Amino acid sequence: MSGGPLGAETDIYGLQIKTTHHTPLIWDMIFTTRAQFEAVDTFGDSDFVPIFDRQFLGGSYTLRGYEYREVGPRESEGRDSIGGNSYAFASIELTTPLWDNVRGAIFYDWGFVNAESWDFDPAKYNDNYGFGLRLQLPGFPLQLDYAWPISYHEDRGETGKPRFNFLMGHTY
């Protein structure tokens, strides 16, 4: 929440729900599921959510088959993403040991961003699949992923080209 009694220039509030579950399987495999929902809205005298508080998907932490912040509503006369006020995201991932401190991964990501607050209609969803490596270096975990978009929207400037992602740290 910002604005109102907190004194910011815009009056907005939001709700975010996240969950992650890791399931150990045979042969030291791990099946991970993750889901996120978030919405922001205005109150009081404000009639818009500033761009820095809007929602986007894409990149190493969400839809790995898309560029960072690529998924979401666009300007009416351009291809620049302006973000939305609601989103949902889900991911499943299976990892298996390959060598000491190295795991292989296959994954599927799904999500959407809508312009309106509290609009969770998945009509314009995006999804991708891919594979990757997880390197567990002491104090320095690395994640390398290669992902292909499945559902993409050319009218929003999405190309459908596969993406390579490099991440230091954990996503789950």
Q: pLDDT digits over 105-145, tens only?
A: 999 999 999 999 999 999 989 999 999 999 998 888 999 99
The number of CA neighbours under 13 Å toward the Cβ of 23 is 9
Give 96 or 161, the one with higher predicted confidence: 96
Q: DSSP labels for 111-161?
A: EEEESSTT----TT-EEEEEEEEEEEETTEEEEEEEEEEEE--GGGT----
Residue 52, classified by CB atoms within 10 Å of its CB into exposed (0-12), middle (13-18) or buried (19+), is exposed
Q: Is the pLDDT of residue 155 over 80?
A: no
Q: Which domain holds residue 147?
A: 4-168
Q: Is the pLDDT of residue 11 over 70?
A: yes
Q: Is the pLDDT of residue 25 over 90?
A: yes
DSSP state of 95: E
Based on the structure, what is the number of domains in the chain? 1
Q: What is the pLDDT of residue 2?
A: 53
Q: Do 85 and 112 form a contact (C-beta atoms < 8 A)?
A: no
Write the CATH number for 141. 2.40.160.50
Q: What is the pLDDT of residue 76?
A: 72
Q: What is the pLDDT of residue 154?
A: 74
Least confident of 4-8, 90-94, 104-108, 159-163: 4-8
Q: What is the pLDDT of residue 1?
A: 46
Q: Residue 166: which of 127, 137, 134 has the closest Cα?
A: 134
Give 107 or 155, the one with higher predicted confidence: 107
Q: pLDDT digits over 31-84, tens only?
A: 999 999 999 999 988 889 998 999 999 999 999 999 998 888 888 766 678 999
